[in-house]
Amino acid sequence: MDIQTKIGVAGAGTMGTGIAQVASSAGHEVIVFDNSRDALDRSATGLRKTMNRLVEKGKLSEQDAKSLLGRIRHVTGADAFRECGMVIEAIVENLDAKRSLFNEVEKQVDDTCVLATNTSSLSIASVGGRCRLPGRLLGVHFFNPAPLLPLVEVVPGLDSEQGLAEKVRDIVKTWGKVPVIARDTPGFIVNRIARPFYGEALRVYEEGIAGFAEIDAAMKTLGGFRMGPFELMDLIGNDVNYQVTASVWEQMFYDPRYRPSITQQRLFEAGRLGRKAGRGYYAYADGKPVDGVPAEPGPHGEEVYLRILCMLINEAADALYLGIAGKDDIELAMTKGVNYPKGLLHWADELGAREVYESLCRLREDYREDRYRPSLLLKRMAADNGRFFT
Ligand SMILES: NC(=O)c1ccc[n+]([C@@H]2O[C@H](COP(=O)([O-])OP(=O)(O)OC[C@H]3O[C@@H](n4cnc5c(N)ncnc54)[C@H](O)[C@@H]3O)[C@@H](O)[C@H]2O)c1
């Protein structure tokens, strides 16, 4: 695959439009297909607006903007994918819809065309399972907004051909992205490891140890996170964040580590979805918080920060232990995908594996809940005074 490869994008929504922009700005011709005329129009108009903005800001020349738009074609039929070397699917998150789309695409493209799904919550095995040639399908998970966020999780499925992930990783790299390879497991890397940032913060809040503004302040001032968990949940949307948590929890066969929170479920049910609804944990006017977030982490700030951080490190260590991804990719995923100030495994080295392990053991002892079970890798490292990086 090279710059001459025509890229097909199925779905002209938020992600499809962003992915089309990324591929075109790297020099590919891009065919965007959607079954809704309105979605295609919105996508084309949105891209024109984005280009105008970039030109106004001096980030792109008028000529480059024109060429980028000129390489993207919006179409109403998947037959236009005929000459594509790769088709990336970003349609609705529904297994049957994705399977039938790929069946249709397979009738159009030749046998060497790579098929990729941008699914966030379905397994790659299930999406590829009904393909005529499942070996050429894999996950290519972009983050929103795709043109701005550098991370892309490349996820081979059970039947993906040997070497396909590496081939796709290399092409995604030429698009200026930071690709990491992840195993086909719930949440892949980022949406799995990041769960305690929200879940443990909610738990601490529910127990009355700290208020949500104090927890946000603790994570920002003591941990250096750009946003606190509650601010971030309000930005992501309490509907989206709740549903991701519930989906990972169910797919993990109800492992208590990933259990959703009733507090967040109630916000979701009440329509307090966050910034987009004007109300979540905080109140918003014109998309900005009304009250601001107090800068004080409160009397339990240090305890709260360490508790959430140790839970995050435990997830990262366990993901490494279970071979979800390599340690460099785990660090890249969390720093480039969700802007963590440091990789969690480097953070563990700073704190000391024993310190992290003992914090988790104390929580487990206090609560007697499996939620706090330390990763076996962390336990072994604590015993040997081990480090993730030398
Ligand atoms: N939005 C995010 O933050 C995000 C991030 C990463 C991955 N994803 C994944 O990307 C995919 C798309 O998400 P989105 O947010 O862009 O959704 P979206 O609703 O903005 O866009 C989906 C588009 O697919 C079209 N569509 C639906 N069924 C179709 C079909 N059978 N054939 C052709 N087009 C069809 C719709 O008309 C719509 O334009 C989903 O799988 C989602 O899980 C979303």
CATH for 94:
3.40.50.720
Kindly give the pairing relationship between strand 178-181 and strand 137-142. unpaired
261 token code pair? 């929170």
Pocket mutation for ligand 1, best pick of 31, 42, 92, 153 (most atoms within 8 Å of C-beta): 92
Report the b/e string of 224-263 with b at 16+ CB within 10 A. ebebbbbbbbbbbbbbbbbbbbbbbbebbeeeebbbbbee
User: Strand 151-156 and strand 137-142: pairing?
Assistant: antiparallel
Q: Count other C-beta atoms under 10 Å from residue 99's C-beta.
A: 17
Residues 126 and 230 in one domain: no
DSSP class of residue 110 equals -
Whole-number Cα distances in Å, 62 to 49, 51, 54, 226, 304 = 13, 9, 9, 34, 50
Q: Among the options 25, 118, 123, 191, which is catalytic? A: 191
Residue with CA closest to ligand 1 atom 4: 144
Handedness of CA 171, 176, 177, 178 (dihedral sign): positive
Q: In what order do the strands lie in the sheet with 72-75?
A: 72-75, 30-33, 6-10, 84-89, 114-117, 137-142, 151-156, 178-181
Tell me how far apart the 2 most distant CA atoms of the chain are, in Å. Answer: 64
- Which of 118, 120, 160, 238 is catalytic? The answer is 120
Q: Which of 181, 214, 242 is the last residue of a domain?
A: 181
**Helix 353-367 vs helix 376-384: angle between axes, to the nearest 10 degrees?**
130
Q: Considering its fold, how many domains does the chain have in total?
A: 2
233, 265: one domain:
yes
User: Considering 147, 165, 181, which residue would you say is the last residue of a domain?
Assistant: 181
Question: Does the C-beta of 76 come closer than 6 Å to ligand 1?
Answer: no
Q: Answer yes or no: is 54 within a domain.
A: yes
Same domain (yes/no): 260, 344: yes
The one-character DSSP state at 334 is I
Q: What is the pLDDT of residue 294?
A: 63
Cβ–ligand 1 contact at 144 (below 6 Å): yes
pLDDT of residue 288: 82
- DSSP-derived secondary structure letter, 254: T
pTM over 0.85: yes
> Burial, 289: exposed, middle or buried (Cβ in 10 Å; 0-12, 13-18, 19+)?
middle
How far does the centroid of ligand 1 lie from the alpha carbon of residue 288, in Å? Answer: 27
Say if residue 82 is in the same domain as residue 228.
no
- Count other C-beta atoms under 10 Å from residue 303's C-beta: 16
Residue 277 lies in a domain: yes
Last residue of a domain, one of 116, 149, 181: 181
Q: What is the pLDDT of residue 295?
A: 72
Are 83 and 169 members of one domain? yes
Residuewise pLDDT in 10s, the chain (390 residues): 888 899 999 999 999 999 999 999 999 999 999 999 999 999 999 999 999 999 999 999 999 999 999 999 999 999 999 999 999 999 999 999 999 999 999 999 999 999 999 999 999 999 999 999 999 999 999 999 999 999 999 999 999 999 999 999 999 999 999 999 999 999 999 999 999 999 999 999 999 999 999 999 999 999 999 999 999 999 999 999 999 999 999 999 999 999 999 999 999 999 999 999 999 999 999 878 887 666 799 999 999 999 999 999 999 999 999 999 999 999 999 999 999 999 999 999 999 999 999 999 999 999 999 999 999 999 999 999 999 998
Judgement on whether residues 174 and 84 belong to the same structural domain of the protein: yes
Question: 105 lies in a domain?
Answer: yes
Contact at 8 Å (CB) between 183 and 160? no
- Is 141 catalytic? The answer is yes
Cis peptide before 374 (omega within 30 of 0): no
User: Are residues 308 and 379 both part of a single domain?
Assistant: yes
Radius of gyration of the chain (CA): 22
Which one-letter DSSP state was computed for residue 201? H
CA distance 307 to 230: 16
Task: Put residue 374 in one of left, alpha, beta given phi > 0 → left and psi -120 to 50 → alpha.
Answer: beta
Give residue 291's domain range: 189-390
Report whether residue 91 contacts ligand 1, using a CB cutoff of 6 Å. Answer: yes
**pLDDT at position 290:** 87
* 1 in any annotated domain: no
- Together in a domain, 148 and 244: no
Is 164 inside any structural domain?
yes
User: Does residue 101 have its Cβ closer than 6 Å to ligand 1?
Assistant: yes
285 and 317 together in one domain? yes
The residue whose CB lies within 8 Å of the most ligand 1 atoms, and thus the one to mutate among 22, 34, 121, 191, is 34
| Pairing outcome for strands 84-89 and 114-117 | parallel
Name the active-site residue from 141, 214, 261, 359: 141
Would residue 191 show up in a list of annotated catalytic residues for this protein?
Answer: yes
Residues 209, 90 share a domain: no
Pair (265, 136) in one structural domain = no
Instruction: State how far the Cα of 136 lies from the Cα of 113, in Å rounded to an integer.
Output: 7
